[in-house]
Amino acid sequence: MRTTARLAALLVALCLVLSGCVLGEREPETVNEIRLPEAPQESENMILGEMLMNGLNEVTLYYPAPDGTSFSTVRRGVRSEAGQSLHEAALNALFDGSVGQSVRFPGDVKTLSCEYACGTATVNLSIDARNVQNPQELLALELAIGNTLLSIEGTRGVNVLIGQLSEGFWQLPLGVMTAPVASATADYAQIQAERERSTQPEGDPIERYALLYFPTDGGEWLVPELRPISARSGGFIRALIEALKQGPMDEACAIAALPDGVDLMDEAPEIQTLSSGERVLDLNFSPTLANYMAFSGLEVWELAGSLALTMCSFLPELDAVRVMVNGEAITMCELDGSIVRFPEGLIHREDFSVKIGSTTTLYLVNDADRLEPVRRAVSMRSALSPRSLLTELLRYAGNQDGLHFPLSGGVYPEDFLGVQASGGIARVNLSGSFYRGCQGLDESGERALIYSMINTLCQLSGIRAVRFYVEGSPADTLAGSVYLKSVLLPNPGIVASPADTAPPSQ
Amino acid sequence: MATISLTRIKAFIHSIRWKITVAYLLIIVVAFCVIGYSLIQLVGEYLFTQRTADDQRIANDLAKNCGDYLVAFDARSLYDTAMDNATTGQTRVLVLDKLCTVQVDSDSRLNGRRFITAEVERVINGADSDYGFYDTGSAVKPWFRAAFNGFSGVNVMTGLYASAIRGPGDELVGVLVYLSGVQEIYESLRDIQLKILIWLIIVAAAVMVVNAMVLRTVTRPIGELNTGISRMSQGDLSARVVVRGNNEFASLAKAFNSMSERLEQLDKSRSQFVSNASHELKTPLSTMKILIETLMYQEPLDPGMAKEFLGDINQEIDRLNRIVSDLLTLVSIDNGMKMNLSELDIGALLQEQVKRLTPLARENGIELDCSAKESVEVDGDTLKLQQVIYNIIDNAIKYTPRGGEVHCTLSRTGKKAVIKVSDTGVGIPESDLPHIFDRFYRVDKARSRETGGTGLGLSIVKQFVLLHGGTIDAASTFGKGTTFTIELPLSGKRQED
């Protein structure tokens, strides 16, 4: 009996030893005294307000060659001044006489304005631009501007106006440049060929890109949309009307100014030259349009602005449009609470240039704490302003349903104490109130909040990363998870894919 | 019932069968554990080495690709690179800056968090790369470092490879972390472990079956032998065991059967001897009782008859005395009689006995002669050899009718002295010849008693001859005569000659 017990004990001990060898687990290895680099100490100046793009941005400037056939390029660092967009700074650099002695720009040409909205730039040059030797030089000037601005990241189209008028060649619209042109001579020859072709009844239609201006959903702005237009000579007016009737492609934040599917025109549109020398487009719409406006709530200024901006930005040397609905000319409208009158019903482009807005993408948080991009119409300046975008995000704070900015409330635009953008990094200074408002967020909520701001800011040209401060000082975290002493890159992966956000199929 | 079961269990536990079975099982389990452990170690080490090298190379390549992107804050390119090299549920890529903050996560779950592990720490502090293994499936300790060579209880084993991301001037700008699931390796090792376990069970079962068969061949004969011995110990000397095969156990069974057979014969001989002795002793006692009772109840007592009866009683007493004397002699022989050995001339001894019995032969009308002229020395006890020769010649005279002859010869054959005593007597039937040296055996019982024999003479003769290292044999033809041949070894000196 004793021997058996000993044998059994030996067997058990052996099994335990062997099982310990085969199945044993080592104790978890502890990480002691991790030595990690500290965040660099910065000479802290409280970031207040907004300081943008005070760094140099590389821009390629295009200059017409002396022979007029090609362009010479100069890569140059351009610094945008306060309140100035990069496009304006690039145009100033282009017309700066210090570069290229042989460049033949008219001496007094100036940029009156540069509207940059929705990835398209509309440059309004002073009338001095017409002081050129011949149309080919004028074309070379416009192409140089277009090539230069198209070299800036994010620019999809460039439209050049001179004295608020679109320039044309033999009454053919030049349209919006969407790609750099290598040779002005070749482009000029192309236009000549198109003119000859357009006079023939069976000739192929001419294709151009136009900027269509649509009212925004909120009734605040008119946003441009780049659209290819195809028509024969004289048919561009109807083509533009039809394009406007089709409505915006980006329906998230813009609406159609004209109803689709019905014939709106009582009479054929016609361009008249008034005794004053102004070229005016008469648009006589049927009562259907009035019914549509009453039904859809479209404001008069939205209709007038959409038509004036679209037509005058495209049709050559068109000064104004005259819009008649049900036989009555639009002679006035209410704009931002004040009455704007149009003498003799002439609606000029500049009447509505202040209402040109842009679209931007805000990254809002869904119920799964993932981000969804939302297109919103804002002013052109806001679309380029990091602080304004952050302020836009705050409008969604406290939303209970759907997309939101995950702060419960008590946070105001002033809590973004300042934003400074330089060297590709936006430095955002948050207030203590903002910091307190973040307490209580869980990890995913905190991450969604921070990357909502980062992803929104990083869509701006020149901003590739964001660093946060609280009351001017670096803070470890807002709510305990995301380390804020690092410069944080945007997070493409947190953006919900369309498949994630699509409603379940029935 | 329970007591019986417990007893049987105890008996089983104490049995050789159980001990051998346990020993076999122990050997098999230990062997399989050692082999399995070694095998799993070897395979696991090979798989892990291969996998580690591959994954570390991937991590290093990714780190090289990510350097420029991280310096340029190109999140999209970093993310695309991470996604291109990440597989859902299998691999994951993290890009950390030099503050260990996750800038890119292919799963987009750790962005912004600091990711601090021993491997990352080593890279941050100067190493180019490092790796470790973690059990990422444990709900209790999600990130404890698991053993490299142990896998039991591992839920989701993941390899973590950290590699330095360097920017312009070879400056450290971040760390790339490549997480690669190695669970399939653990699953493979678990499969091997399971197969080893299954084989262990199969082999153990097979060995147990073979063991049971082998043990049966061993323990069955032992059991039968045990039963036979038990029967014998209870007095059943007829117990035998079945002899199977031709192995050691068969030899043992044969030896046992032989022993039991011999014991049975001895028992029978003893019974026969006691019966014969009782009978031999009872016969003179009965005769004496009759004679004495006749004398006691005879009135008046006839002196002549009384003298005759007393003479008869005296003869019966002499006979009893001889029987007892012979029995004592046999008992003395059985208990190891002491011999007074000396070199003696067996020829002279033979002639002396012939001479001593010559008057008896003449009285019975028998011619007795001896032809022993040469001197033959043997080592022997003079008195006992005298008794041997005297008994043989006396027997020949007694069983040879008047006018017959008894011849005694002595010769030397090889290293033996050969004494032959031949008679022309009645002879011995062939059926009695094998038993003539048995105790109390008589060929003709009536006549033997008439001659005054005890039935023990030839037994004593044979025992004496055997004590001298010799042999005695009888050859006889019934009705013609008998020849006894005694062979004795020559003395040591003679043999040397």
What are the DSSP calls for B369-418, one per residue?
A: EEE--S--EEEE-HHHHHHHHHHHHHHHHHTS-TT-EEEEEEEEETTEEE
CA A490/CA A432 separation, integer angstroms = 24
* Tokens, residue B279: 């009978």
Last residue of a domain, one of A173, A204, A235: A204
| Per-residue model confidence as pLDDT tens digits over A135-179 | 888 888 899 999 999 999 889 999 999 988 998 887 888 899 999
* CA-angle at A336, arms to A331 and A338, nearest 5°: 55
Last residue of a domain, one of B180, B196, B212: B196
Task: List the single residue in B13, B74, B108 with the smallest CB-CB distance to A491.
Answer: B108
Residue A476 has pLDDT above 70, yes or no: yes
Query: Quick one: pLDDT at residue B19?
Result: 86
CB A299 within 8 A of CB A215: yes
The CA–CA distances, whole Å, from B421 to B344, B414, B450, B470, B484 equal 20, 19, 22, 16, 5
Q: Which residue has the higher pLDDT, A38 or B67?
A: B67
CATH of the domain at B303: 1.10.287.130
| Residue B22 with chain A: CB contacts under 8 Å | 4, 7, 11
CB A64 within 8 A of CB A77: no
Residues B292 and B313 grouped into a single domain: yes
Give, as one character, the DSSP assignment of residue B169: G
Tell me the shortest Cα–Cα distance from B128 to chain A, in angstroms.
15
Query: Quick one: pLDDT at residue B493?
Result: 63
Q: For residue A441, tell me if it sits in a domain.
A: yes
* Main-chain dihedrals φ then ψ at residue A491, nearest 5 degrees: -120, 95
CA B287/CA B296 separation, integer angstroms = 14
A-chain residue closest to B145, CA distance: A28
CB A333 within 8 A of CB A230: no
Per cent of chain A over pLDDT 70 is: 84
Helix (H, G, I), strand (E, B) or coil at A345: helix
Last residue of a domain, one of A204, A219, A241: A204
Query: Quick one: pLDDT at residue B2?
Result: 56
Q: CB–CB of B150 and A464 under 8 A?
A: no
Per cent of chain A over pLDDT 90 is: 37
Residues B82 and B139 grouped into a single domain: yes
Q: For residue A12, tell me if it sits in a domain.
A: no
Q: For residue A56, tell me if it sits in a domain.
A: yes
The CA–CA distances, whole Å, from B450 to B39, B309, B315, B403 equal 96, 17, 12, 20
Q: CB–CB of A482 and B111 under 8 A?
A: yes
Q: CB burial class (10 A; 0-12, 13-18, 19+) of residue B205? A: exposed
CA B63/CA B329 separation, integer angstroms = 116
Query: Quick one: pLDDT at residue A82?
Result: 64
CA B452/CA B284 separation, integer angstroms = 11
Task: List the single residue in A22, A28, A485 with the smallest CB-CB distance to B144.
Answer: A28
CATH of the domain at B353: 3.30.565.10
Query: Quick one: pLDDT at residue B149?
Result: 36
| Per-residue model confidence as pLDDT tens digits over A242-251 | 999 999 988 8
| Residue B145 with chain A: CB contacts under 8 Å | 26, 28-29
Closest C-alpha to A277, from A373, A346, A365, A202: A346
Query: Quick one: pLDDT at residue B148?
Result: 32
Residues B314 and B367 grouped into a single domain: no
Give, as one character, the DSSP assignment of residue A24: -
Residues B291 and B369 grouped into a single domain: no
User: Residue A503: which pLDDT band, with cuts at 50, 70 and 90?
Assistant: low
Neighbours of A471 (CB within 10 A): 14
| Residue A17 with chain B: CB contacts under 8 Å | none
User: Residue A34: which pLDDT band, with cuts at 50, 70 and 90?
Assistant: very low
Pairing mode of beta strands B367-371, B405-413: parallel
Query: Quick one: pLDDT at residue B216?
Result: 83
B-chain residue closest to A494, CA distance: B108
Residues B177 and B265 grouped into a single domain: no
Pairing mode of beta strands A71-78, A57-64: antiparallel
* A83 φψ region: left (φ > 0), alpha (ψ -120 to 50), beta (else): left
Q: What residue spans of A458-503 are helical by DSSP H?
A: 498-501
Query: Quick one: pLDDT at residue A23?
Result: 39
Residue A467 has pLDDT above 70, yes or no: yes
Residues B346 and B328 grouped into a single domain: no
CA B456/CA B279 separation, integer angstroms = 13
* Tokens, residue A350: 């500049």
CA A83/CA A211 separation, integer angstroms = 25
Give, as one character, the DSSP assignment of residue A215: E
A-chain residue closest to B98, CA distance: A37
Residue A18 has pLDDT above 60, yes or no: no
Residue A55's contacts (CB-CB under 8 Å, 6 or more residues apart) are A79, A422, A423, A424, A462
Task: List the single residue in A21, A35, A483 with the smallest CB-CB distance to B99.
Answer: A483
Pairing mode of beta strands A270-273, B377-380: unpaired
Distance between first and last Cα of chain B: 79
Q: For residue A7, tell me if it sits in a domain.
A: no
Tabulate helix, strand, coil % of chain B (nearest 5): 55, 20, 25
Residue A22 has pLDDT above 50, yes or no: no
Q: How many domains does chain B have?
A: 3
Structural domain that includes position B85: 6-196
Q: For residue A224, tell me if it sits in a domain.
A: no
CA A333/CA A322 separation, integer angstroms = 13
Residues B372 and B283 grouped into a single domain: no
CATH of the domain at B145: 3.30.450.20
> What is this structure's pTM?
0.65
Q: CB burial class (10 A; 0-12, 13-18, 19+) of residue B126? A: exposed
Residues B380 and B484 grouped into a single domain: yes
Q: For residue A136, tell me if it sits in a domain.
A: yes
Q: For residue A373, tell me if it sits in a domain.
A: yes
Q: For residue A104, tell me if it sits in a domain.
A: yes
Average pLDDT on A205-221 reads 91
The CA–CA distances, whole Å, from B269 to B255, B283, B340, B433, B474 equal 21, 21, 30, 17, 22
| Residue of A4, A25, A463 to mutate when probing chain B, most B C-beta within 10 A | A25
CB B424 within 8 A of CB B449: no
* B470-474 long-range Cβ contacts below 8 angstroms, 24+ apart: B470/B416, B472/B437, B474/B428, B474/B433, B474/B436
Structural domain that includes position A161: 45-204
Residues B327 and B351 grouped into a single domain: no
Burial of A77-111, coded b for 16+ CB within 10 Å and e otherwise, reads ebebeeeebbbbbbbbbbbeeeebeebbbbeebeb
**Helix (H), strand (E), coil (C) string for B330-375:** HHHHHCCCCCCCEEEEHHHHHHHHHHHHHHHHHHCCCEEEEECCCC
CA B217/CA A209 separation, integer angstroms = 104
Query: Quick one: pLDDT at residue B446?
Result: 61
Q: For residue B218, tell me if it sits in a domain.
A: no
Residues of A with CB under 8 A from a CB of B: 1, 4, 7, 10-11, 14-15, 18, 21-26, 28-29, 31, 34-37, 39, 424-425, 443, 447, 450-451, 458, 464-465, 481-483, 485-494
Last residue of a domain, one of B303, B334, B365: B334
Instruction: Name the helix (H) or strand (E) containing A379.
Output: strand A371-379
| Residue B106 with chain A: CB contacts under 8 Å | 493
Last residue of a domain, one of A204, A223, A250: A204
Last residue of a domain, one of B177, B196, B215: B196
Tell me the shortest Cα–Cα distance from B229 to chain A, in angstroms.
26
* Tokens, residue B103: 């800038």
What count of CB pairs under 8 Å joins A to B? 139
Query: Quick one: pLDDT at residue B305?
Result: 85
Tell me the shortest Cα–Cα distance from B190 to chain A, in angstroms.
11
Q: CB–CB of A486 and B34 under 8 A?
A: no
A-chain residue closest to B31, CA distance: A18
Q: How many domains does chain A have?
A: 2
Burial of B94-111, coded b for 16+ CB within 10 Å and e otherwise, reads bbbbbbbbbbbbbbbebb
Instruction: Name the helix (H) or strand (E) containing B149.
Output: none
User: Residue A506: which pLDDT band, with cuts at 50, 70 and 90?
Assistant: very low
Residues B383 and B448 grouped into a single domain: yes
| Residue A11 with chain B: CB contacts under 8 Å | 22, 26, 29
| Residue of A451, A476, A486, A494 to mutate when probing chain B, most B C-beta within 10 A | A486
| Per-residue model confidence as pLDDT tens digits over A410-466 | 888 889 998 888 888 999 999 999 999 888 889 999 999 999 999 999 998 888 999
CA A458/CA A495 separation, integer angstroms = 13
CB A359 within 8 A of CB A383: yes
Tell me the shortest Cα–Cα distance from A88 to chain B, in angstroms.
25
Residues B45 and B160 grouped into a single domain: yes
Query: Quick one: pLDDT at residue B237?
Result: 86
Tens-digit pLDDT string for chain B (497 aa): 556 678 888 877 888 888 888 888 899 889 888 988 888 888 888 888 888 899 999 999 999 999 999 999 999 999 999 999 888 778 899 999 999 999 999 988 899 999 999 999 999 999 999 998 887 765 433 333 333 334 455 567 788 999 999 998 889 999 999 998 887 787 888 888 888 888 888 988 998 898 888 888 888 888 888 888 898 888 888 888 888 888 888 888 899 899 989 888 888 878 877 887 888 788 888 888 988 988 888 888 788 888 888 998 998 898 888 888 888 888 888 888 888 889 999 999 999 999 999 999 999 999 999 987 778 899 999 999 999 999 999 999 988 999 999 999 999 888 899 999 999 998 999 888 888 888 888 777 666 566 667 788 898 999 999 999 999 999 999 888 999 999 999 987 655 55
CA A486/CA B111 separation, integer angstroms = 11
Residues B18 and B151 grouped into a single domain: yes
CA A430/CA A474 separation, integer angstroms = 10
